Amino acid sequence: MNKRFLMDLHTHTLASGHAYNSMNEMIQQASKIGLPLLGISDHGPAMPGSTNRYYFQNMNILNHEKFGVRLLFGAELNIVDYQGTIDLEDRDIRDLDYCIASLHHVCLTPGSKKENTYACLKAMDRPKVMVLGHPDDGHFPLDYPELVRHAKEAHVLIELNNTSFNPRGFRLNARENDREILQLCMQFQVPILLGSDAHREEDIACFARAEKLLDELDFPKELIVNTSLDKLEPYLPR
Ligand SMILES: [Zn+2]
Ligand SMILES: [Zn+2]
């Protein structure tokens, strides 16, 4: 693991239905690689095979530290319509530390660029939404200048998702799209959050593919939230 990165807030456990490790195994792995901060972000209930709303409601019984790792409990919410509706209610996410909001084609049929963009802007305005997840999938055309400007205004982080660059992955033109997004983030001084999107313990805090693109663009370290716990603090929802 690259020691410059102190956190990974996009990870999935067995509860997501298509991930392969328990929460304990994920935390133990984070401990083993010396990761100071791990976030658990299982898929919301609109994802086929994922867990139910009570899983998220009940997360307030969990300790925020285990095996020497600081923990945050969140959700990867599904944006389920072009109005930016998400698949958990306020009550369900009330006690979560943060949420990621993402477009997944199994939960929403891609619309026009205008529709997709509007859905993301509205989702970013929701309380608890701290991150817009992988906005780089070309199946969902998005107005990136508008998205990045809104991220700044709404105080929401744009994710750079390492799994988007998986050669066996299904996200379309992620590299080209992320290049455009990152250039806009530099232009408007909008910070990003690296996420592994790990669906197995071995992938926790694996950011190598994303890092390659960051290096290519000479992306400033100051705009990468993962490099400092202090940088994350102002983004955490209250
Ligand atoms: Zn996702
Ligand atoms: Zn995910």
Q: How far is the CA of 76 from the centre of ligand 2 (A)?
A: 6
Residue 2: inside a domain: no
Structural domain harbouring 62? 7-235
CA distances from 207 to 118, 187, 194, 215, 226 (A): 29, 23, 7, 12, 11
Q: How far is the CA of 53 from the centre of ligand 2 (A)?
A: 17
Q: How far is the CA of 180 from the centre of ligand 2 (A)?
A: 21
Residue 101: inside a domain: yes
Residue 227: inside a domain: yes
| Residue 164 CB contacts under 8 Å (≥ 6 apart), including other chains | 134, 136, 137, 171, 174, 178, 197, 210
pLDDT score recorded for residue 42: 98
pLDDT score recorded for residue 1: 42
Are 174 and 163 in contact by the 8 Å Cβ rule? The answer is no
Task: Using the predicted structure, report yes or no on whether residue 98 has a pLDDT greater than 50.
Answer: yes
pLDDT score recorded for residue 226: 98
Number of domains the chain is built from: 1
Per the DSSP assignment, residues forming a β-bridge with 43 are: 76
As a whole number of angstroms, the distance between CA 26 and CA 97 comes to: 18
pLDDT score recorded for residue 80: 98
Tokens of 154: 């709404």
pLDDT score recorded for residue 170: 85
Mean pLDDT of 113-121: 98
Q: How far is the CA of 133 from the centre of ligand 1 (A)?
A: 6
pLDDT score recorded for residue 167: 87
In our burial notation (b when 16+ CB lie closer than 10 A, e otherwise), range 185-220 reads: bbeeebbbbbbbbbbebebbbbbebbbebbeeeebe
Residue 84: inside a domain: yes
Which residues are near ligand 1, the ion (C-beta closer than 5 Å)?
102
As a whole number of angstroms, the distance between CA 11 and CA 38 comes to: 8
Q: What is the pLDDT of residues 33-67, one digit of tens each?
A: 999 999 999 999 999 999 999 999 999 999 999 99
Query: Beta strand pairing status for 69-78 and 65-66?
Result: antiparallel
Q: What is the pLDDT of residues 167-218, one digit of tens each?
A: 888 899 999 999 999 999 999 999 999 999 999 999 999 999 999 999 999 9
Task: Using the predicted structure, report yes or no on whether residue 2 has a pLDDT greater than 60.
Answer: no
Residue 15: inside a domain: yes
What CATH number does the domain containing 138 carry? Answer: 3.20.20.140
- Judged by phi (left if over 0) then psi (alpha if -120 to 50, else beta), residue 82 lies in alpha
Task: Using the predicted structure, report yes or no on whether residue 69 has a pLDDT greater than 90.
Answer: yes
Mean pLDDT of 85-97: 97
Q: How far is the CA of 217 from the centre of ligand 1 (A)?
A: 24
Mean pLDDT of 58-80: 98
Q: How far is the CA of 198 from the centre of ligand 2 (A)?
A: 7
Q: How many other CB atoms are found less than 10 A from the CB of residue 109?
A: 9
Q: How far is the CA of 164 from the centre of ligand 1 (A)?
A: 9
pLDDT score recorded for residue 213: 97
Residue 86: inside a domain: yes
pLDDT score recorded for residue 238: 84
pLDDT score recorded for residue 17: 98
Residue 38: inside a domain: yes
Q: How far is the CA of 41 from the centre of ligand 1 (A)?
A: 10
Mean pLDDT of 153-169: 95
Mean pLDDT of 60-87: 98
Q: 15: pLDDT confidence band, cut at 50, 70 and 90?
A: very high
Q: What is the pTM of this model?
A: 0.97
What percent of the chain shows pLDDT beyond 70?
Answer: 99
Q: Point out the ligand nearest to the CA of residue 11.
A: 2
Residue 1: inside a domain: no
